[in-house]
Amino acid sequence: MSDIDLILAIIIPTLIILLLIAGVVIVIFIANRQRIQQEVKMAQIEVGYEKELRAVESEVQEQVMQNISRELHDNIGQLLTFIHLQLERHKMDAPQQAAELKSIDDTLSTTIQQVKLLGRSLNNDMLEHHGLLKGIEQEVERLKQLKQYAIVFEHDETEPALNKDQRLMAFRIFQEIINNALKHSRAKEIKIDMRGNAAFRLSVTDNGKGFNLEKMMGSAGGMGLRNIIKRANLAGFQSNIDAVEGKGCTFTLEHKGI
Amino acid sequence: MRLVLLNMFLSCCAETIGYVFRNNNTWFYNIYIIINILSWIGVFYVLEQRHAKVVIATAIVYAMLWAGYVIKDGINVLANLPMVYGSAIILVFYFMLLLSIFRWYNGNIKQHPLLWICIATLLYYGCSMPMFILLNYVIRERFELGIHIYKINLFFSIIHSFLLAYSFYLARKPHNIQFLKQPYVRH
């Protein structure tokens, strides 16, 4: 065996093995890249589907709210006004009962006012025409009239630059957060802060019993919160929940892409 | 990763001791062969955590084969065939590991340190195999040429070390630190 034969006898199998290993590694790299691309594609389809689902869900919800709002205004509101007129007539017919009827009249007036405000709060026409700031102001006004909670609303008097869908989503999320605070947290004070000047930022802080966020998100009871976060993300908002057991909760909604 | 580091440390020690006994170090390299091959089988055993019986049986059979060869030819003749068998075992095991990583890792596989450990090991032991087969013959018949041919082993040894260093660099990345705390390969 000459030197050249010996060298070739070693180098050729070495090169073959080298090429085989390189081939396997290249195939693995390509297959891995394709798998990642496929996974990204699937994730995009899933996000798109979820987005569509949420959009339909919101649309249906809005439609239901519009119907309830219309019913409150056209039907219940009219009936209450009719009762009010009947009461007024009764007061005129029997002035001696006017004092007794006054408390009923007062309660009825408050009820009419509450129904009117509730109708407006469910209707998004006001949001479209007057903006988010006015919408939240009106909602705060409605809650203040319940006289059960101390509500403070601070803002920079600037309507945030959000599109129609974002405005509606921010308002509905705000309503849900307030509703959660009133229903579950046993809060006595709620502080709302909204900034729209440089970027949109809305925070709702309550002094209720708070909760363990990690535990809550993992439980069935956290579905509402998970939904809020999901909806906020789909509308392009960043949301943050800062909750401590026994020390209340702060929910923040932000949109920096203005 | 600690075992791989230990293996690299053992290699350094072996090369240093081999250099100290450079006049007659074949006996030492014969001992190092069994340590080296068994330690890489050990790394595979820890990483794969599957086929435990097969791996242990392979290690035992390999150790017996090595012992038989050394007893037959003497400690002063380089045990090149056990080196070849050991390389073949390592090739099979690390190829299996490579496929396991590909099968179970969902992220970018190029960022996975174990992939580079597998490639390094496959390259070194795979490409050195033809040289190991003919090494004794070359040293005995054409010593000068044997020294040149041995440079192939040095070349792949350098690549092996670079790839292992790269895998350690990747293992320092935050997502890999988290990942390496879990079992290496899921089944």
One domain, residues A163 and A238: yes
Alpha carbon distance B4, B47 (integer Å):
11
Residues A39 and A108 in one domain: yes
Give residue for tokens 């988010």. Answer: A132
Q: What is the pLDDT of residues B19-62, one digit of tens each?
A: 777 777 778 888 888 888 998 898 888 887 778 888 899 999 99
Q: pLDDT value at position A82?
A: 85
> What pLDDT does B61 receive?
92
Residue A41's pLDDT band, with cuts at 50, 70 and 90, is very high
A79-90 per-position pLDDT tens digit: 888 888 888 888
> CA A124 to CA A68: how far, in whole Å?
12
With 0-12 / 13-18 / 19 or more C-beta atoms within 10 angstroms meaning exposed / middle / buried, residue B154 is exposed
A5, A25, A34, A40, best to mutate vs chain B, most B CBs in 10 Å: A25
Q: Where are the beta strands (DSSP E) in A108-246?
A: 150-155, 189-195, 200-206, 238-243
Choose one of A57, A91, A123: the last residue of a domain: A123
> Do A189 and A119 share a structural domain?
no
Lowest mean pLDDT among A46-50, B42-46, B140-144, B180-184: B180-184
pLDDT band, residue B179 (cuts 50/70/90): low
Residues A27 and A74 in one domain: yes
Instruction: Note whether B116 and B161 are within 8 A (CB).
Output: no
Distance from CA of A242 to the nearest CA of B (A): 26
Residues of B in contact with A36 (CB under 8 A): 107-108
Check whether residue A188 and residue A224 sit in a common domain: yes
Q: Which of A3, A9, A17 lies closest to B127 in CB terms? A: A17
- Exposed/middle/buried for A142, CB within 10 Å: 0-12, 13-18, 19+? middle
- A157 within 8 A of A118, measured Cβ to Cβ: no
Number of helices (H) and strands (E), helices first, in chain B?
7, 0
Q: Is the pLDDT of residue B184 over 60?
A: no
What is the number of structural domains in chain A? 2
Separation between Cα atoms, residue B114 and residue A215, nearest integer Å: 35
CB contact under 8 A, B109 and A24: no
**Mean pLDDT of the region B141-155:** 81
Model confidence pLDDT, tens digit, residues A203-250: 999 988 888 888 887 777 777 888 888 888 888 888 899 988 888 899
Show which residues on chain A lie within 8 Å of chain B, measured between beta carbons.
3, 6-7, 9-11, 13-14, 17-18, 20-21, 24-25, 28-29, 31-32, 36, 39
* Shared-domain flag, residues A71 and A169: no
Residue A14 sits in the same domain as residue A39 = yes
Q: A251 with A188, same domain?
A: yes
Contact partners, residue B157, CB within 8 Å, separation at least 6 = B124
Give CA–CA dist A173/A176, Å, rounded: 5
What is d(CA A116, CA A80) in angstroms, rounded to the nearest whole number? 11
Element (H, E) at A15: helix A3-71
Question: What does the alpha-carbon distance between residue A224 and residue A216 come to, in Å, rounded to a whole number?
Answer: 10
pLDDT at A194: 92
Lowest average pLDDT, out of A92-96, B161-165, B182-186, goes to B182-186
Mean pLDDT of chain B: 82
Chain B CB contacts of A13 under 8 Å are 129-130
- Point out which residues pair with A189 in neighbouring strands: A150
For residue B52, which of B64, B41, B38, B61 has the smallest C-alpha distance?
Answer: B41
Give just the sign of the alpha carbon dihedral B26, B27, B31, B34.
Answer: positive
Q: Which residue of B has its CA nearest to A13?
A: B130
Distance, in Å, from the CA atom of B15 to the CA atom of A65, rounded to the nearest integer, reads 80
Contact A21 B127 (CB under 8 A): yes
DSSP A33: H
Is residue A77 located within the same domain as residue A144? no
Residues from chain B that touch A9, judged by Cβ atoms under 8 A, are 130, 134
Each residue of A10-20: pLDDT tens digit?
Answer: 888 888 988 99
Last residue in a domain, options A74, A93, A123: A123
What CATH number is attached to the domain comprising A190?
Answer: 3.30.565.10
Residue A18 CA to chain centroid, in angstroms?
58
- How does DSSP classify residue B104? H
pLDDT exceeds cutoff 70 at A118? yes
Whether the pLDDT of residue A193 is over 90: the answer is: yes
Cβ-contact A105, A92 below 8 angstroms? no
Same domain, A146 and A205: yes
Amino acid in position B15: E
CB contact under 8 A, A14 and B95: no
Paired with A202 in beta bridges are A194, A253
Expressed as residue numbers, the domain containing A220 is 131-258
Which residue among A123, A144, A179 closes a domain?
Answer: A123
pLDDT of residue A250: 92
Select the residue of B102, B109, B130 nearest A10 (Cβ to Cβ).
Answer: B130
In this predicted model, what pLDDT tens digit does every residue of B59-108 receive, in sequence order?
999 999 999 988 888 888 888 888 899 999 999 999 988 888 888 887 78
* Contact between residue B48 and residue B89 where contact means Cβ atoms under 8 Å apart: no
Asked whether residue A254 falls in the same domain as residue A159, the answer is yes
Nearest CA in chain A to B107: A36
**Chain B residues inside the 8 Å CB shell of A39:** 106
In this prediction, residue B186 has a pLDDT band, given cuts at 50, 70 and 90, of: very low
Question: Which of B98, B122, B152 comes nearest A10 by C-beta?
Answer: B152
Q: Which residues does B contribute to its contact with A (CB < 8 Å)? A: 95, 98, 102, 106-110, 115, 119, 122-123, 126-131, 134, 138, 142, 145, 149, 152
Q: Which two tokens stand for residue B99?
A: 């496929």
Alpha carbon distance A23, B16 (integer Å): 35
Assess whether A160 and A217 both reside in one domain: yes
- Identity (one letter) of the amino acid at B135? L
Q: Which 3 state secondary structure label does DSSP give A153? A: strand
